[in-house]
Amino acid sequence: MINTARGQIIEQAALTEALRAGRIAGAALDVFEEEPADPDDPIFSLPNVICTPHALAWTDELALGNGRSACESVLAVAAGRVPDNVVNGEVLGSPRWQDKLARYAGRTESP
């Protein structure tokens, strides 16, 4: 059993019992039913369980991409442009936002 999605999709007590009884050969988990997981949870004492932190995506490439995206967004706004990847698109129609972009337009060159 491998669960790297959400801890709540597996009933952890039932998984622990199935692993103890040998109905499931092993488990690899990086998420748990309760977060943060109780360090005394019996699942952590089983020899057929591998547990890791839910951090698979935290690679050097991800950190570089996040940093680059943030810097590009700051430069875009400083140049009076709408940045890529705006999460709250409703803000783009706000007069306050549009005024801010108009004030910044042309002040700074950006790639």
Neighbours of 11 (CB within 10 A): 11
Question: Which residues of 1-111 form beta strands (DSSP E)?
Answer: 2-3, 27-29, 49-51
Q: Is residue 54 flagged as an active site residue?
A: yes
CA 9, distance to chain mean position in Å, is 18
State yes or no: is 35 an active-site residue. Answer: yes
Catalytic option among 11, 17, 34, 35: 35
Whether a cis peptide bond, with omega within 30° of 0, leads into 53 is no
Spot the catalytic one: 6, 20, 23, 103: 6
Instruction: Verify whether residue 6 is a known catalytic residue.
Output: yes
Q: Which residues are catalytic?
A: 6, 35, 54
